[in-house]
Amino acid sequence: MYDISAIYEAKSVSDAVSLRVEHPDAVIIAGGSDVLIKIREGKLSGAELISIYKLDELRGVSMDDDGTIRILPLTSFSHITANPILREHMLVLCEAADKVGGPQIRNIGTIGGNISNGVTSADTASTLHAWDAEVELTGPDGVRRITLREYQVGAGRVDLRPGELLTAILIKKENYEGYFGHYIKYSMRSAMDIATLGCSVNVKLSADKTVFEDVRVAFGVAAPTAIRSHSAELAAKGKPVCEETFMACADAALNDVTPRTSWRATKEFRLQLVHELTLRALRESVRLAGGVL
C-alpha cells in the first residue's frame, strides 16, 4: 500500500538537518496526515522519508522574553486549540485549528505540516498571515527568519533551502497585543472537508472603539497561496467603525484575490464569498474588540 524506499528517524534537530543534507530528495514526515495520503495515491511512490515525529524539542507553545509567541512545528492542532497562551492572546488561531478535519486529524496533524505543504486551503496559514507571522528555519548554515508570506512561495511550494527544517512559527508582541480576530471557513460540509474559501480578519480599535487603528485581512483559496489583502486593509485603516467602512473593506478585498474555478466552487462564487466573509469576519472582530455595530 505504501511504496517507501527508506525511512530515517531523526534523533535531534541537528540530526534531522544532517539527514536532510545526506538525503536531499527525502520528504520530511511528522504526523503523516498529508504525506502518507500522497504516498498511497502514488504521488510520492518510492520516496525516502525523514521522520521528525519523536522530536519533542519541536513541540509546544511558549513566550519569549520580549513577548514573542513561539509555536513549535510539531504541535498538534488539538494542542493549539487548548493552549492557554494562544487562548489568551490569539484565540482566533485556536478556533481555526479546531476547524481542521476531524478529531483524528487534529490529534495527529501538526501546524508545521499545515503551513509547510504550501496549500492555499490550510486553515492555520491564512490565520497566521493575519498575525504577520514569521518562521524560523534551521539548516547547515544556521538559523534564518523570514515572513510566512516569503516562506510560502507558490502552490505546494515553500522556501526551504537544502538541509533546512522549519523549527518555529513566531508572532511578535506588537502583532497580537490589542488585536481581536475572527476566522470563517466556508466548506461544502461542516466537518472533514477542506475550505472552499477561508477568511481571517484581525482588528485593533482606538481607545474609544470608534476608529480602526489597524486591520488585517487574509484569505485562503483566493489565490495560489494564502494571501493578505492590503487593499482591504487600507480601505479600513484609520476609518470610523461603521457600515460604510465595512462595505468599503469588503469591496476592496476583491482587488487582491485571484480565485479559480474548481469542482468545489466557481470563480464567481468564490468572489462572492470573499466579499461576504470579509463583511462577516470584520463585524465579528469589531464585536470581539468591544466595538459597537
Instruction: List pLDDT tens digits, range 118-155.
Output: 788 889 999 999 999 999 999 999 999 999 999 999 88
- Assess whether pLDDT exceeds 90 at residue 277: yes
Supply the pLDDT for residue 75: 97
Supply the pLDDT for residue 43: 79
Identify which has the larger pLDDT, 42 or 132.
132
Selection from 98, 59, 95, 55 nearest residue 78 by Cα: 98
Average pLDDT of the segment spanning 39-48: 81
- Assess whether pLDDT exceeds 80 at residue 172: yes
Selection from 122, 173, 174, 184 nearest residue 148 by Cα: 122
- Assess whether pLDDT exceeds 80 at residue 37: no
Helix (H) or strand (E) holding 277: helix 267-288
Locus of grid cell 538537518:
17
What pLDDT, in 10s, does the model give residues 53-82?
999 999 999 999 999 999 999 999 999 999
- Assess whether pLDDT exceeds 70 at residue 1: no
Supply the pLDDT for residue 156: 82
Report the mean per-residue pLDDT for the chain. 93
Q: In percent, how much of the chain has pLDDT > 70?
A: 99
Selection from 117, 23, 12, 13 nearest residue 4 by Cα: 23
Average pLDDT of the segment spanning 159-174: 96
Supply the pLDDT for residue 101: 81
Cα(227)–Cα(257) distance, integer angstroms: 8
The model's confidence at residue 293, banded by pLDDT at 50, 70 and 90, is: confident
Supply the pLDDT for residue 191: 58
Helix (H) or strand (E) holding 107: helix 103-108
Identify which has the larger pLDDT, 43 or 236.
236
Average pLDDT of the segment spanning 1-14: 90
- Assess whether pLDDT exceeds 70 at residue 252: yes
- Assess whether pLDDT exceeds 70 at residue 109: yes
Average pLDDT of the segment spanning 237-256: 98
Going by the DSSP 8-state scheme, the letter that residue 192 receives in this structure is S
- Assess whether pLDDT exceeds 70 at residue 240: yes
The model's confidence at residue 174, banded by pLDDT at 50, 70 and 90, is: very high
Cα(220)–Cα(218) distance, integer angstroms: 7
- Assess whether pLDDT exceeds 70 at residue 190: no
pTM score: 0.94
Identify which has the larger pLDDT, 120 or 274.
274
What pLDDT, in 10s, does the model give residues 209-239?
999 999 999 999 999 999 999 999 999 999 9
